[in-house]
Each structure stands twice: as C-alpha cells, then as structure tokens.
Amino acid sequence: MIPMQTSIPILNSSIDFEFAVGLLHGAAVVDEYRTLADLEGVFDDEDLRSSMDPTILVYSVSCVFPVKNGKEGGLFFGTTSIRPGTVGDEYFMTKGHFHSKIDTAEFYWGIKGEGVLLLMNEDRTIRAERMVPGSLHYIPGRTAHRTVNVGEEPMIFGACWPSDAGHNYEKIRQEGFSARVRRGPHGPEVVEV
Ligand code: PAN
Ligand code: ZN
C-alpha cells in the first residue's frame, strides 16, 4: 500500500505529514519529550516513580504552530506518542490539562495502539473514551483531558486545537484527575479516586 502523505506549506517551509503513522517532518516541526523526570506527582506511587530511571521516555509530542501562540482564529496541530509502560500498575500517560482559555475545545483521533482518554469536567465528574486507530474524540471546552497508553506498543494520536487555547497544567498538578487507569487482572481498569 502506498502511504498517504500530505504536504502542508507553512511558514515558508514545507511540512510532510504521514497520516497513517502520525509522523510530521519539516524544519517547522517542534518536538517535545517527557521523561519520568518531568512527571513528578503525576502517578499515584510517587516514591516508585522517583526511584525509577529518570531518563525513561514516557511520551513525545510533535507540533506545528502556523501562527503565533495566543493568536485568535488559528489552529495548532500535533501528534503525541505515549510509550508502553507502567509505574507500578498505573499505565504511562500524559500530564493532562485544562485549556487556559477554558472554553476552547479540541479534536483528538486515534492513529496507532490502544488508549484511554480521560475527560473531566470542572466539577470533577469524569468519563473515559477508548482510543483505537480511527477513533475520533471531541473534547468540549471546560474539560480537562489526559491520555493513557493501555497497550503493549506506542499509542499515537493526533490533536488539533485553537491557537489561543493555552495549557493550564497547574490545576491538574494541584488537584489531579478524579480517576486513574490501572492494569487489572483482566485488563485496564478505570478506577475513580
Ligand atoms: C495535546 C497535548 C499532548 C501532551 O497536544 O498537549 O497530548 O499532553 P500534555 O500537554 O497534557 O502533556 C493537547 O491536548 N493540546 O492541547
Ligand atoms: Zn489540549
């Protein structure tokens, strides 16, 4: 099969997007990496996390920012790859955030692997959506979002969000999510806390 590839001319340089695998290539692509060292307080068993190899990669994000951060009316685009793994029985996951401009929404879609998307309202009611290749997820405004890799391979998903959304990590750092995703005897379990 010929891989689907799209070229987006952007900021006077071209970006190639390999849709089937979510890979972005080009001078304007910004890559960020989150290792266990960057995830203090994210997992329930903080003592275990801090005793593990801090260089272990948990997830990476490749983004394109066609307009200035904070500008109204533009869109940002990124793919996230969460490696397989656990801290104790809790699966590797993203930090998670509300958007700073809290009413702004976002689309996610599954590209590879198996995941769980946790969606939490401001009143801390939570729901979970299963992420698989081809699944589509609308994250409404005022909703914190975190993704969890519950499979044995990297879990890759795409995201598109408004360029003025911003990321509020602080509220989640202080209050956490009201559910955790753990490896249970019969597979992943979403456990309310
Ligand atoms: C995504 C996330 C990405 C990494 O692009 O930023 O998956 O998750 P954290 O930002 O929570 O570390 C997104 O939701 N953008 O708004
Ligand atoms: Zn977001």
Q: Are 118 and 182 in contact (CB under 8 A)?
A: no
Q: Are 132 and 43 in contact (CB under 8 A)?
A: no
Q: 117, 142, 167, 173: which to mutate for ligand 1, most atoms within 8 A of CB?
A: 167
What pLDDT is stored for residue 1 in this prediction?
64
Does ligand 1 have an atom closer than 6 angstroms to the CB of 78? yes
Q: Are 156 and 79 in contact (CB under 8 A)?
A: yes
Torsion over CA: 41, 133, 143, 187 (sign): negative
Distance 156 CA to ligand 1 centre (A): 12
Residue 79 has phi, psi (to 5 degrees) of -120, 140
Does ligand 1 have an atom closer than 6 angstroms to the CB of 97? yes
Residue 118 has phi, psi (to 5 degrees) of -95, 130
Which ligand 1 atom is the nearest neighbour of the CA of 96?
11
Does ligand 1 have an atom closer than 6 angstroms to the CB of 114? no
Does ligand 1 have an atom closer than 6 angstroms to the CB of 137? no
CA 91/CA 128 separation, integer angstroms: 14
List CB contacts of 158: < 8 A, sequence separation 6 or more.
22, 77, 78, 79, 108, 109, 111
Does ligand 1 have an atom closer than 6 angstroms to the CB of 10? no
| pLDDT tens for each residue of 1-37 | 655 567 777 777 888 888 889 999 998 999 999 999 9
**0.75 exceeded by pTM:** yes
Residues of the chain with pLDDT under 70: 1-5
Taking the CA of 155 as reference, the closest ligand is 1
The closest of 191, 187, 182, 158 to 23, measured between CA atoms, is 158
What pLDDT is stored for residue 7 in this prediction?
74
Pairing of strands 30-35, 57-64: antiparallel
CA 163/CA 150 separation, integer angstroms: 29
What pLDDT is stored for residue 2 in this prediction?
59
Q: 39, 40, 94: which to mutate for ligand 1, most atoms within 8 A of CB?
A: 94
